[in-house]
């Protein structure tokens, strides 16, 4: 849960306009060793200066350029550079008649924002094989991390209140405090793209989606009228809104645990609404340089309680996809998802809700980024999903949209036995449907436990902890991508929402 707003956050607003004393400064999240967004987008550079001063911004390095002078207005100057190809290093020089500010060792590449709660905050020093992973840091000098400090605000702030980790060239001692998922995603992405990657971590443990959402996004889901223990928009105001002027390429997100009990039924609206709003706000804030539909990847919730029979986690996983079961979909375009419910960690010293295997999470995010964010062809990034579901008195035939690797299971599938037309829910009678047989792309399930009742719905992996580590019964042909959880009623089912449970 977010801590109460500190008075210091309020009074620090006076520090957002340091140029009033005649100095010339960059905004808080610019610094030596940073990454600026490469071409074809144009990087935005801004900061503070004396009112009315003429500011010139120049770039020196592999390619030199000088932007047209701008005037400091209300204590702020802002310049949009011409497109710069990936590479570096560059020096960014900002000057007025009497003052100069310089950024050194600046690279151009793709910038990704990493947001969410504690599983995104989870440090590289805490993950499996941490020592080995941190020892590799020196081999990735072109993957540059940055971390915003944990701060709140009742109002939208123009700049970060505080920086936790300024931009740095990766080294083990500093990287140990940085997000494991964010770092691994950036490192794997660099291995693929072979050019600089900038990583901006802005996350806070135990926080619901509402606190990362603007009042606009909350209004879209009627959440702006609800009172609750979580303070709406506090972290949007202090830790996301300040970043909007920066040109970015995309975002990854690991959050949802806090919403398994808090406004869970609204998450199928609040999460897509937050994504839409971030896209609009970053696009406008950067003067149109950040894409209006920038790619957004997220981690579907992992596990928490092995014995839990509550539907909180499976319902939230479903709502993370806007109740489609997969992404991209008609509601959540240009998104990608890393399924993680098959990566439990029963012995995690940080609690089972914090699995230490962040490598597989990041690798699955990478596959989605390659396919969705970078349009690389023939990259399989989605696990098998039902294409057609046919029910008879004795069996159900689930046909998947790809070749499947199947192991037997008597409990992973469940059917709802009902003669009524009402949709089955968490309080309905659900019984196991054993896997009887399978083919290259289909699975046959027994309906015998429904007795004389009809099968009204089918669901898969609808538990907090549905299987042990990488031991779910259905994966893709390479046995690396798990089939995501789904629920299909008589009227729904299929990746295109065109098929029914018949």
* Helix-strand-coil split of the chain, %, nearest 5: 25, 25, 50
Q: How do the domains of the chain map onto residue ranges?
A: 1-382, 386-489
pLDDT of 392 > 90? The answer is: no
Residue 422 banded pLDDT, cuts 50, 70, 90: confident
User: In this predicted model, what pLDDT tens digit does every residue of 73-121 receive, in sequence order?
Assistant: 999 999 999 999 999 999 999 999 889 999 999 999 999 999 999 999 9
Residue 10 banded pLDDT, cuts 50, 70, 90: very low
Return mean pLDDT, the chain: 92
Q: Are 306 and 266 in contact (CB under 8 A)?
A: no
SS3 state at 316:
helix
pLDDT of 376 > 80? The answer is: yes
Q: Which residue has the higher pLDDT, 10 or 460?
A: 460
Residue 490 banded pLDDT, cuts 50, 70, 90: confident
Sheet strands (E) in 309-412: 335-338, 386-391, 395-400, 404-406
Q: For position 182, what pLDDT does the model report? A: 98
Q: For position 204, what pLDDT does the model report? A: 98
Cα 468 to Cα 83, 84, 182, 463: the distances in Å are 48, 47, 25, 12
pLDDT of 287 > 50? The answer is: yes
Cβ neighbours of residue 150 closer than 8 Å, sequence gap 6 or more = 164, 204, 239
Measured CA to CA, the distance from residue 107 to residue 88 in angstroms comes to 5
Tokens of 168: 């740095």
Top-level class of domain 1-382: alpha beta
Measured CA to CA, the distance from residue 431 to residue 496 in angstroms comes to 27
In the chain, % of residues over pLDDT 70: 92
SS3 state at 180:
helix
Tokens of 456: 């009204």
User: In this predicted model, what pLDDT tens digit does every residue of 241-258 receive, in sequence order?
Assistant: 999 999 999 999 999 999
Region of poorest pLDDT, from 13-17, 375-379, 397-401? 13-17
Q: For position 500, what pLDDT does the model report? A: 60
Residue 11 banded pLDDT, cuts 50, 70, 90: very low
Tokens of 316: 């939230």
Measured CA to CA, the distance from residue 246 to residue 265 in angstroms comes to 33
Q: Among 377, 376, 401, 375, which Cα is nearest to 387's?
A: 401
pLDDT of 19 > 60? The answer is: no
User: In this predicted model, what pLDDT tens digit does every residue of 175-218 receive, in sequence order?
Assistant: 999 999 999 999 999 999 999 999 999 999 999 999 999 999 99
Long-range pairs of 21-24 with CB within 8 A, sequence gap ≥ 24: 22/50, 22/98, 22/99, 23/48, 23/49, 23/50, 23/99, 24/48, 24/49, 24/50, 24/53, 24/55, 24/94, 24/95, 24/96, 24/99, 24/100, 24/101
Measured CA to CA, the distance from residue 318 to residue 297 in angstroms comes to 16
Measured CA to CA, the distance from residue 358 to residue 364 in angstroms comes to 10
């Amino acid at each position: 849960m977010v801590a109460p707003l500190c008075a210091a956050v309020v009074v620090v607003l006076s520090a957002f306009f340091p140029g009033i004393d005649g100095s010339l400064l960059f905004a808080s999240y610019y610094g030596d060793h940073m990454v600026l967004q490469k071409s074809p987008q144009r990087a935005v550079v801004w900061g503070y200066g004396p009112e009315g001063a003429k500011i010139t911004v120049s770039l020196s390095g592999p390619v030199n350029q000088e932007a047209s002078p701008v005037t400091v207005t209300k204590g702020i100057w802002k310049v949009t550079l011409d497109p710069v190809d990936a590479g570096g290093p560059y020096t960014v020089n900002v000057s007025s008649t009497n003052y100069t500010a310089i950024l050194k060792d600046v690279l151009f590449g793709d910038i990704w924002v990493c947001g969410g709660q504690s599983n995104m905050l989870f440090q590289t020093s805490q993950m499996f094989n941490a020592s080995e992973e941190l020892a590799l840091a020196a081999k990735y000098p072109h993957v540059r991390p940055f971390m915003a400090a944990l701060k709140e605000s009742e109002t939208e702030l123009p700049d970060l209140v505080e920086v936790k980790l300024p931009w740095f060239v990766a080294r083990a001692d500093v990287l140990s405090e940085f997000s494991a998922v964010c770092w691994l995603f950036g490192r794997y992405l660099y291995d693929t793209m072979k050019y600089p990657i900038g990583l901006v971590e802005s996350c806070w443990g135990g926080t619901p989606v509402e606190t990362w959402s603007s009042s606009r996004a909350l209004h879209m889901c009627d959440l702006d009228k609800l009172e609750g223990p979580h303070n709406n928009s506090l972290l949007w105001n202090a830790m996301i809104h300040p970043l909007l002027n920066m040109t970015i390429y995309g975002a990854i997100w690991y959050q949802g645990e806090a919403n398994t009990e808090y406004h869970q039924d609204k998450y199928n609206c609040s999460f897509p609404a937050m994504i839409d709003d971030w896209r609009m706000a970053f696009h406008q804030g950067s003067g149109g340089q950040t894409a209006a539909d920038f790619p957004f990847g997220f981690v579907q919730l992992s596990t928490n309680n092995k014995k839990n029979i509550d539907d909180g986690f499976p319902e939230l996983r479903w709502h993370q996809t806007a109740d489609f079961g997969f992404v991209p979909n008609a509601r959540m375009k240009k998104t990608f998802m890393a399924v993680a419910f098959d990566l439990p960690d029963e012995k995690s010293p940080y609690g089972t809700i914090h699995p230490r295997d962040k490598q597989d999470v990041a690798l699955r995010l990478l596959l989605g980024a390659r396919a969705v964010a970078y349009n690389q062809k023939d990259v399989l990034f989605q696990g098998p999903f039902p294409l057609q579901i046919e029910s008879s008195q004795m069996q159900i035939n689930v046909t998947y949209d790809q070749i499947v690797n199947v192991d037997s299971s008597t409990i992973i599938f469940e059917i709802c036995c009902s003669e009524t037309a009402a949709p089955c829910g968490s309080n309905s009678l659900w019984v196991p449907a054993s896997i009887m047989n399978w083919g290259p792309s289909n699975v046959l399930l027994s309906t015998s436990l429904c007795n004389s009742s009809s099968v009204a719905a089918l669901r898969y992996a609808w538990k907090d902890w549905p299987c042990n580590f990488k031991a779910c019964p259905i994966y893709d042909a390479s046995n690396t991508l798990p089939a995501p959880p789904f629920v299909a009623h008589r009227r729904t089912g299929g990746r295109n929402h065109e098929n029914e449970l018949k």
